[in-house]
Structure 1
Amino acid sequence: MLSSDRPLAVLLSRLRTEEKLLLAELERRHIRCAVLDTRSTVFRPDGPAAPYRGALAREVSHHRAHYAARLLEHSGVPVVNSAGTIALCGDKLLTTLALRAAGVPTPRILVGLTPQAVLSELPRFGLPVVVKPLVGSWGRLAARLTDADTAEAVLEHRAALPGAQQRITYVQEYVDKPGRDIRGLVAGQEILGAVYRSAGHWRTNTARDAVTSPCPVDDRLAGVLRDAAAALGPGVYGIDVVEDADGGLYVIEANHTPEFHGAAEVLGLKLVAGYVDYVLERLAK
């Protein structure tokens, strides 16, 4: 149980449905919280220890979440998810490498340190593909490349973007999914639930108005979700899985600050309770 004399820090900058649900569950359990807006919080690594028993990271900005977690951990405050987990899952290439090293099924990828390198290799790799930024969520800046002309136009645009990281080009084989993907919510090795996200667009993000419905978690899906979580280390994850035409399952991404309002609407608030159970358990260690 968390020490009652020190609050639990909650890192955020946007108070979304997910954060409201988590804060309400913590209040129901009489856990004292201090909400830290990462846009205005100042840290003193050389000052006194931070006055928190632990921290729950719900910041949507990858970089702010990562550095806030690093600073708190430096001050002796454990964070869920940890700074190491945020750094790993916030980068799509690093996530894929960790999953593939653990034998978790993922779509084929092609990576070039310049867009021009990828453009020259695409004919051998094969189309269609999806090009994604290394850091980002909600499907922003992702593009499906279906032909050579589209690929050339999109990759020329990427070459003109500012910042060296934007020019590192991560290309993922496009899996022709059945108009939906699967979002599995996993805390440690416990599967909190899974939903289908269905949409008419190839990007089936809830943030893009995908419709959620319950997804049965059979042994095969459970194995993929648990293996993916184990490959990433202790934490709470939203793991995105696609099905191919033959029923194969592939992990395409893992989110370290998962959105779950759509899942909670169809599966109930047990998701929130399970999330909080895991956070309190990790911070008590």
Structure 2
Amino acid sequence: MAGPVIFAERVDWHTRSLLAAVARHGGKARVISLTACGFAVGETAHGLLLPGFGDDLPAACFVRSVPAGTLEQVTARLGVLHALSALGVRVMNDARAIERCVDKSATTFLLARAGLPTPRTLVMEDRAAAQMLVDAAPGDTVLKPLFGAQGRGLARLAPKDALPGEADTGGVYYLQDFVAAPPCAPADGSHEDFRVFVVGGRAEAAMVRRGSSWITNIHQGATGIATAAVGALADLAVRAAAAVGAAYAGVDLIAGADGQLRVLEVNSMPAWRGLFDATGRNMADPLAAHLMAETVAA
């Protein structure tokens, strides 16, 4: 087998950090876009088209991003990741974990099935039925896009607020109870939640994300503040990553009015620049260590 591969669309700060970290662990990774990969059944020994590999396979693969595209394109790209796993190549994260995390309804189902605290969530296609649930909710409801990231497309609805049309939601209504702030919330009225970065079953770093909006993503203007990745925060994050089968993950949690933590989301291809700015720790190091350890074990 050849060296490891980083599937990424561009050599940005994250990719450069990973390449350098892999090199520090004695490896030499190459960057490939999943858009350049495909299937070559009857043409290559393994049946895949992987630029620069021919009949060889990578020792391991790190998935930094799966580019957006048509349903057919995304299916084919995930198919390549599925095939690599079937061929015995360690993929981090594999297609199954990515699919579970991209689909927020699947994530929430698996979190609850694993016994993890998560807000009440209802997902359906019928707009009239969804509107009835919003109107009957005990408080505000958060409408999320089923596929979405970085806090884009979120809406907070009070009972009787009208839901958007099906064209604006992809025909699916993902509804989650809004989590009210705990008694220890910031006195200035700002909002906060937590991001914990998990690698190989270990909570490596964490930050509080604090902002003036209830949408506390760093990309939406929130500020990251370092906090210890220990106790219930770390335990819930590690269990959440395990529930979706993720080798690494960015886990979002929030404290409710009762002071108890709840898991909101699990991100299977998380960025970590905001976490680095807050904590000074570059997650490329534990990621590369885990990737290279798996490569050696293979």
Normalising by structure 1, what TM-score? Answer: 0.87
Q: 1:204 to 1:38 in 2, by over 3 A?
A: same
Q: 1:68 to 1:115 in 2, by over 3 A?
A: farther
1:160 to 167, 178, 184: 167
For 1:121-140, list aligned pairs within 5 A.
121-140=133-152
Q: 1:240 to 1:119 in 2, by over 3 A?
A: same
**What's 2:50 paired with?**
none
For 1:158-237, list aligned pairs within 5 A.
159-161=166-168, 166-177=170-181, 178=185, 179-237=191-249
Give yes or no for contact 2:136–2:159 (8 Å, CA) kept in 1. Answer: no
- Which structure 2 residue ranges, 5 or more long, are not aligned? 47-55, 69-73, 186-190
Residue 96 (1) aligns with residue 108 (2):
yes
Q: In structure 1, how many angstroms separate the alpha carbons of the residues matched to 2:114 and 2:97? A: 16
2:15 to 12, 16, 19: 19
Cα RMSD for the two superposed structures? 2.2
Q: 1:254 to 1:116 in 2, by over 3 A?
A: same
Please report how far the alpha carbon of residue 258 of structure 1 lies from its aligned counterpart in structure 2 after TM superposition.
1.2
**What's 2:277 paired with?**
265
Q: In structure 2, how many angstroms separate the alpha carbons of the residues matched to 1:212 and 1:45? A: 47
Give yes or no for contact 2:194–2:207 (8 Å, CA) kept in 1. Answer: yes
Please report how far the alpha carbon of residue 33 of structure 1 lies from its aligned counterpart in structure 2 after TM superposition.
1.5
Normalising by structure 2, what TM-score? Answer: 0.84
Give yes or no for contact 1:182–1:194 (8 Å, CA) kept in 2. Answer: yes
Q: 1:74 to 1:189 in 2, by over 3 A?
A: closer
**What's 2:45 paired with?**
48
Q: 3-state SS of the aligned residue for 1:137?
A: coil
Please report how far the alpha carbon of residue 206 of structure 1 lies from its aligned counterpart in structure 2 after TM superposition.
1.4
Deviation per residue, 1:194-246 (Å, 9 max, x gap)? 01111111111112222111112342212211221221225101000011233
Paired letter, 1:155: P
Q: In structure 2, how many angstroms separate the alpha carbons of the residues matched to 1:10 and 1:58? A: 7
- Which structure 1 residue ranges, 5 or more long, are not aligned? none
Q: 3-state SS of the aligned residue for 2:36?
A: coil
For 1:61-76, list aligned pairs within 5 A.
61=67, 63=74, 66-76=78-88
